[in-house]
Structure 1
Amino acid sequence: MSAPTGDAGIYARESDYLDRYVQFGEAGDRIISVTFPTQPEDDTSDDHPLLDRIDEYLTGNRDDFADVTVGLTVPTDQRKVLEAVRQIPYGENATVEKVASMTPDLSAEEMDDLNLVREALDANPVPLLVPDHRVRDGPSGAPPAVEQKLRVVEGL
């Protein structure tokens, strides 16, 4: 079931595969941030079911994290884009144009809409949970090296 515990806090665990930490912030029942620092913030805990799932994912176990509740603290137009990105299935690619066509009220034919998609991907506060690494020609909220390793995990 859903990974958030309902507690507020910052959780981090080192990933040998990523050669850095996976860190996330939880507020209530929502994950509000995912980052990949080389050192975790002070006072983090490494005991959280979502960290266990991420470890399994990084070793090749299929998980789309669709049941994890995220709190997208971005403007509404960007939120719509990121919600569309969450619909890209595990192991599949999409283009910026495809994401625009998947997003309500956006068009793959409008440069402003394509720019909005790129801005939303770049501002993604929860990369991995909103899998911007599946958008092959757009930016990611994760560092480039992490984005590439996430793509490798999914065979992209």
Structure 2
Amino acid sequence: MNATGTTGVFAREFDEIDGAVEVGFAGGRVIAVSFPAHAPADADPDHDLLDRIGAYLRGEPDGFDDVAVGLTVPTDRRAVLEALRTVPYGEEVSVSRLTRLAALDADDPDDLELVTSALDENPIPLFLPDHRVQGGPYATPGDVRDAVRRVEGL
């Protein structure tokens, strides 16, 4: 999915997570995702990606692989987050496995620190699925993470 030219903030509340999903777009790419308690009044609730998120939260499998994202993070963290995106729907990896997927050394404390920092500061959780990593850390809040892990059978 590429919402060509879409720019702005879209948000909708979902009973399944007892809160909202807020998605920021720039130039048709998702650049931020957050999970506020309520959708901001100035956020548009009408977007096909929010429809897909609702279906996903109700149990419809969706890996969101086709969602165009725009990462504005340092190159080394970008490699980690791009590797994270390759973890399929319904599967999980350890931090050390993600480290290897990012072509880093899982036995190097600096590389492990890089991976955990990238996970902790993930600007686009859900589409860069940190909830699929065993033992985190996570940018996805705990209650939301628990809900989406249940959806994916993790």
Q: TM-score, normalised by structure 2?
A: 0.96
Is 2:24 the partner of 1:39?
no
Residues in 1 aligned to 2:77 and 2:151: alpha-carbon distance in whole angstroms: 26
Q: Secondary structure at the match of 1:25?
A: strand
- The Cα of 1:142 is off from its aligned counterpart by 1.3
Q: Contact 1:12–1:24 at 8 Å: present in 2 too?
A: yes
- Cα deviation code 1:48-106 (max 9, x no counterpart): 010000000001101000000111121111110000000001100100000000003x1
Residues in 2 aligned to 1:146 and 1:5: alpha-carbon distance in whole angstroms: 28
**Residue number in structure 2 paired with 1:122:** 120
139-148 or 84-93: which moved more? 139-148
Q: Which structure 1 residue ranges, 5 or more long, are not aligned? A: none
**Residue number in structure 1 paired with 2:134:** 136
- The Cα of 1:154 is off from its aligned counterpart by 0.3
Q: Contact 2:24–2:30 at 8 Å: present in 1 too?
A: yes
Q: TM-score, normalised by structure 1?
A: 0.95
Q: Secondary structure at the match of 1:67?
A: coil
Report the aligned-residue RMSD. 1.0
Runs ≥4 in structure 1, deviation > 6 angstroms?
none
Q: Contact 2:80–2:99 at 8 Å: present in 1 too?
A: yes
Q: Contact 2:9–2:22 at 8 Å: present in 1 too?
A: yes
**Residue number in structure 1 paired with 2:145:** 147
Identity of aligned residues (%): 51
Equivalent residues, number:
154
Residues in 2 aligned to 1:50 and 1:5: alpha-carbon distance in whole angstroms: 13
Write the letter of the residue equivalent to 2:76. Answer: D
Q: Contact 1:29–1:69 at 8 Å: present in 2 too?
A: yes
- The Cα of 1:7 is off from its aligned counterpart by 1.7
- The Cα of 1:41 is off from its aligned counterpart by 2.7
- The Cα of 1:111 is off from its aligned counterpart by 1.1
- The Cα of 1:5 is off from its aligned counterpart by 4.5
Q: Secondary structure at the match of 1:17?
A: helix
Q: Which structure 2 residue ranges, 5 or more long, are not aligned? A: none
Counting only pairs closer than 5 Å after superposition, residues 32-71 of structure 1 correspond to structure 2 as 32-71=31-70
Residues in 2 aligned to 1:5 and 1:74: alpha-carbon distance in whole angstroms: 22
Write the letter of the residue equivalent to 1:40. Answer: A
- The Cα of 1:115 is off from its aligned counterpart by 1.0
